[in-house]
Amino acid sequence: MENVQDTASTDVNDAEATKLIRYYSLCSGGAGFLSPPVVDLAAVTAVQLRLVKRLAAVHGKDFDQESGRTLVTALAGALAPSFAGQGAAKLALRALGAGTFGSLAAGTAIPALNYAATTLVGKFYHRHFKKPGNEKANLSELSQHLASAVAR
């Protein structure tokens, strides 16, 4: 009987986690439409931090202030190179696109990147929080996970 309850609980957690990942990924994408690159990095990092806190709660795990600070540092370190290039990419796309097409390309590429990065972070932490125990996430593993996804 316990296995049936555990499976049902896991299914509910998976469904709730999937909804959270989708919602916060959309919020991150929206930040790309509304803010310049430096503000964008701060906004996306805040959204991702909130996502991880919510995922921890769904799985009944602790996520304390220190873990949050460590996560923000790791996310900023892992994502900063791509965000630093966003400003230059936005300008290049606008310049090369000669008007509307370049602006449209720049305006959609950045939100798409934000969405994808937040989805990756969410999936990583969802997998992490499903593990038994309350072990802290291996942040170098997160950085490698993000880097390999970007390289693809």
Domain of residue 35: give its range.
2-151
Mean pLDDT, consecutive 10-residue stretches, the chain (152 aa), reads 53 90 94 75 86 92 78 67 54 51 63 86 89 76 71 64
Tokens of 140: 């170098």
pLDDT at 132: 84
Say how far apart CA 88 and CA 96 lie, in whole Å.
12
Nearest CA-CA partner of 40 in 151, 139, 118, 150 = 118
pTM of the entire structure?
0.74
pLDDT at 80: 58
pLDDT at 20: 97
HSE (side-chain half, CA atoms, 13 Å) at 89: 17
80 to each of 63, 72, 98, how far by Cα in Å?
Answer: 23, 11, 28
pLDDT at 102: 52
Say how far apart CA 138 and CA 128 lie, in whole Å.
9
pLDDT at 82: 56
Say how far apart CA 18 and CA 122 lie, in whole Å.
9
The tally of domains found in the chain comes to 1
pLDDT at 142: 73
Query: Any idea what DSSP says for residue 46?
Result: H
HSE (side-chain half, CA atoms, 13 Å) at 26: 5
pLDDT at 5: 47
Place of tokens 């805040």: 46
pLDDT at 133: 77
102 neighbors 94 (Cβ within 8 angstroms): yes
Place of tokens 């921890």: 56
